[in-house]
Structure 1
Amino acid sequence: MGPGTIYRGALPARLHPVLVRNRRFSPAGFGRRGLDPEEVRRFLHRVALELTTLHHEVDRLVEENARIKQALRDWQTVQARRRRS
């Protein structure tokens, strides 16, 4: 199995852009032209899973960032009121 191959039951290392750019697929079997379709499908599935994970993480971080900003605004409001009192 070549670089970037997915082993069943084990999670692959994080997918980095250089792995996608440099990925090479085996030629199709004897008598066929092109790439091995199953190998391409497995790799595309891995890319899709990684993108899904990254999108979920970005969404989570955006929500966390909004919560932190709101907490900071609330704290600043309380501090400003204390100073005026």
Structure 2
Amino acid sequence: DMHGFNYGSSRRTSFSSTASTADYLQTFKEPGYSFVGMHCIFDCCKGSAVTVVKFGNLSSDLLAYGVSDGRLVVCRVTEPPSILHQLEGHSKDVT
């Protein structure tokens, strides 16, 4: 647990207790995830930050993300993934 919950007891520990943050992070085990079949769809945003990501309400294979340079990008995340639209012209970050 990233919040410092001690499974051996019911009390919570903080990062500022006697154990250092480095000690805590060395004992923290990440769950194993498989990244097989994952694709990078943010390549068109090099030099700009992705500021928001949303899946389609009625279609989970659609993904839209906003970029700090004012673009909104709509992607299809099925095989093969593709960028459907890039909307440009916002004067500020898309959030």
Is the TM value for this pair above 0.5? Answer: no
What TM-score do you get using the length of structure 2 for normalisation? Answer: 0.18
> Which has the greater radius of gyration?
1
Considering fraction of residues, name the structure with more helix.
1
Considering fraction of residues, name the structure with more strand.
2
What TM-score do you get using the length of structure 1 for normalisation? Answer: 0.19
